[in-house]
Every structure is written in C-alpha cells, then in structure tokens.
Amino acid sequence: KMNNENNTTPKLGEGLTNNQIVMISIGGVIGAGLFIGSSAAIAKAGPAVILSYAITSVVVFLVMRMLGEMAVMQPDTGSFSTYATKAIGPWAGCTIGWLYWWFWVLAIPVEAIAGAEILHAWFPMFPAWLYAFLFVIILSLANLFDVKNFGKFEFWFSMIKVVAILLFIGICSIAVFGFWPLADVSGIANLYQNGGFMPFGFSGILGGILITAFSFFGIEILSIAAAESANPAEKIRKATNLVIYRIILFFVVSIFLAVALVDWRSAGFKEFGTFQYVLMTLNVPGTRLIMDTVVFVAVASCMNAALYTSSRMLFSLGARKNAPAIVTKLTPKGVPRVAVVLSSSIGFIGCIVNYLLPGQVLVFLLSSSGTIALLVYLVIAISQLRLRKKCEDENIQVPFKVWLFPWLTWLVILIILSVLGYMFFSPDYSYETLMSLGITSIVVLFSLIVTRKKKPTYLKQY
C-alpha cells in the first residue's frame, strides 16, 4: 500500500474498527473545556452563552462539512494539511501541518499535568510530577504498538463522556420540570431574571464565542483517524452528517439546562466548574468524585488524541517531504513509531519544564498556540473554496457537497476573519494573538524555504 503523494512512502495501517470510529466521532468533541471551561463563557455572556454555543456549533459544523467534502474525495491522514497543499500551495500545507502539530504536542503536557493533579488529590502518597510522567509514558506506549490501542482507549473514554453528558441532561431535565426530589428547583426563570437574558448585549455573546470556539477544537481528528480504517470515505460521510446533532445535544442543550437551573452570577461556576456546581446545587450524592472522574477521563481522552494526532500529522509532513523522512518509518502493524516517540518526547519535555519552571516557559509556549484552532478552520474553508471551484471548472464530480456554495463558505471565512480581528484588537486576547502570529510567521518562513522547489499540485490525484 503506497501513499498518494510519494510512491516510496508506506501507508498507515487500517486498524480502527467501525465502532471505534463512531465513538471517536461522537465523544471526540467532549473535553474538559465543556465540563469546566464553560464557566468562563457563562461569566462572559450570561444566559446568552446559549447563543454563543449555538452560533459556534453551526460554524464548526459547516467547517466539518467542508472538511468532509474534501476527505470523502481523498481520505488522508494529513487531512486539511494535505488539502491545503493541493488547494493553496505546498507552503500552506507545510505551515498548517506544523502549526497543528505544535498545538497538539503542547496539549500533551497540559493534559498530563491536569490529570496528575486529580490523581494526586486521590492518592497523595506520590508527587504530582510522577503521575504526569507515568501518564505520558503509558499512553505513549499504548499509541506506539498498535493503532487499535488508540481506538480502544478512545472508544471507552468517549463512552464514559457520552454517558456522563446524557445523565447530566437527564437529571437536569427532570429538575427543570420540577420532579427532582433532592432539591427545590424548577423552571427556566434564571434565563431572564438576574440581569436579563443578554446582560452584556451582543459583545457578551461574541466574548462567549471566543471562549467556546476552542472547546470544539479536536472534532476534526475524525478525518485523520478515519484514514486508518476500512472504507474511510463512507465513515467520514456518515459521521459528518451527524456532527450537528451531537454538538447541539452535548453543548447547547447541556449549557441551556445549566444556566436555566442556576443563577449565572453564582461564584460556584468559577470555583467548581459548570457541571459540578449544577449537580451540587441539585444535591446529587458524590458529585465531587463523579465529576473528578469524568474530567480525568476527558483529560486522558484529550491527551490520547493529542499523542495520536500529533504523530499522524508529523508522519504526513514527512510523507510530503516537509519533515525528515525518518518520521515515516512504520512498525509491522503500520504505526509511525518515530513520529509517536518524537511527539511524546516533546510532551514529556514540556512536563519537565513545567515542574522545573512552574508557570513560566509552558505558559509562554501555550500563548503561541492561542489562535491556531481558528487558523486551521480558516485554511479548511479556503481549501474547500478553491478545490470545489476547480472541480466545478473541470467538471469533476463532488459526491459530498457543502450547500449554497460558495456563499456559505465565504460566510464562514468572514466570521473567522472577524473573530481573529476582534482578538487582535481586544486587550484580553491581543497578547495571545500576537504570539500566535509570531510563531505562524516563523513557520511560514520555514515552509517557504522547505517547499521553495515544489510546484502546486492542484487536484493532483484528488
């Protein structure tokens, strides 16, 4: 089996099952950002955070539909990086690929440290740094030997997260209708009392969007993982069609119930996290242990995905000669071992740096990845715009389309550019935006040098 871009580069194995792909597509979008980070969005927008999540859900769904359109035509582990190479040019694919890799290798130590803090609280006899290192080592080894291990871990991680969300929605729904026996709460009065539905106006909704947008990042992993399964195009098509229902259920409905049942101004949201504070208000027994367990699973899932995704993107960069060829070396089971080891090593170093220089170097590095999610979405939209136009000009059949082309695509591009512009001029986000622009400029320069002798490959083998 050979890679589309290079006939000497081996292709990754097809070790992920249909059930694993389904669960990755369902639960992959649910991270600790929803369980805990949503409290910051609630503080920013009040009850109108529901609109923030709804708007973001629609934009993310449209971006996924664009990615799905391209991925159905050519499933590839490089995903949007490969499509950017074909649509915009080799420098663009190289740039977004390395930025995406950078984002996820930085996520490895962040998630390891967060998980270690929970484990240390449960079992204080060992230091937190030991848990963090063991966390990275165990999941790295799991990813190193067989892609099926990633699939198995992610299947059960996703299952636990989905069950937790559904139970939360079920309990809160009972409470809203006044049938919850453990607390005297009911109705949705909190949505319009306490300063009204939009206490901060439209600017509050926009501020909420800036926070919620990053909660969805990771859903695009589906198109990367599907490339390591049988019949990937069909799996991508089915999963993409169901994305909008899943993110509305998991995000919009759960947040609606949270702000309906509890006064959005409550300090408990920030202190305990959205889900935990709501369950505490409803007097659910064992809330702290339940939510710590769910958050730990979400953290482990995110780190598992970070290890997998960073290694596959690095492999894809190597396959397109944008990274050293050694990263394309595969095990007999089709796992890019060098890419996995290098990516996990960077994460491991991040943990060491954090514990040696707490709150300094890692925080500085993380600020450089502040807008990468939006840049990835922007590149997906631009790539789809150009490739679809090329297909129409050359009468190439597109089996899975974005509707109302090109108007919806242009709308998404304008929304993303508007959010990036707001972040650049906003005092709350300008530092992160400038740092991200700085690292992006460096990577663009590097990419122009690396790909200077390569010609654009518009629609080649597309």
Answer whether 115's CB lies under 8 Å from 135's CB. Answer: yes
Classify residue 395 by its DSSP letter. Answer: T
pLDDT band for 454, please (50, 70, 90 cuts).
low
Q: What are 85-136's pLDDT values in tens digits?
A: 999 999 999 999 999 999 899 888 888 888 899 999 999 999 999 999 998 9
Q: What are 364-420's pLDDT values in tens digits?
A: 777 777 788 889 999 999 999 999 998 888 888 888 889 999 999 999 999 999 888
pLDDT higher than threshold 50 for residue 3: no
Distance CA 357, CA 346 (A): 16
Please state whether 14 falls in left (phi above 0), alpha (psi between -120 and 50) or beta. beta
pLDDT of the residue at 443:
93
pLDDT of the residue at 53:
92
Can you read off the two tokens belonging to residue 363? 């925080």
Q: What are 35-46's pLDDT values in tens digits?
A: 877 888 999 899
pLDDT of the residue at 305:
86
pLDDT of the residue at 455:
63
Q: What share of the chain is helix, strand, coil (3-state, %, to 5)?
A: 75, 0, 25
pLDDT of the residue at 131:
92
Exposed / middle / buried, residue 418 (Cβ in 10 Å: 0-12, 13-18, 19+) = exposed
Q: What are 24-82's pLDDT values in tens digits?
A: 766 767 777 788 778 889 998 999 999 999 999 999 899 999 999 998 888 887 788 99
pTM: 0.89
- Check residues 18 and 170 and name the one with the higher pLDDT: 170
pLDDT higher than threshold 60 for residue 6: no
Q: Helix or strand or coil: residue 396? A: coil
pLDDT higher than threshold 70 for residue 2: no
pLDDT higher than threshold 70 for residue 460: no
pLDDT higher than threshold 60 for residue 286: yes
Q: What are 312-331's pLDDT values in tens digits?
A: 899 989 988 899 989 988 88
Exposed / middle / buried, residue 427 (Cβ in 10 Å: 0-12, 13-18, 19+) = exposed
User: Nearest CA to 17 among 231, 309, 218, 161?
Assistant: 231
pLDDT band for 17, please (50, 70, 90 cuts).
confident
User: Nearest CA to 387 among 67, 131, 123?
Assistant: 67
pLDDT of the residue at 28:
65
Distance CA 394, CA 123 (A): 63
pLDDT higher than threshold 70 for residue 5: no
Q: Helix or strand or coil: residue 429? A: coil
Bridge partners, 2 (sequence order): 10
pLDDT higher than threshold 60 for residue 457: no
pLDDT of the residue at 241:
81
Mean pLDDT calculated for residue range 454-458: 58
pLDDT of the residue at 354:
84
CA distances (Å), origin 309, targets 78, 150, 302, 314, 365: 10, 10, 10, 8, 19
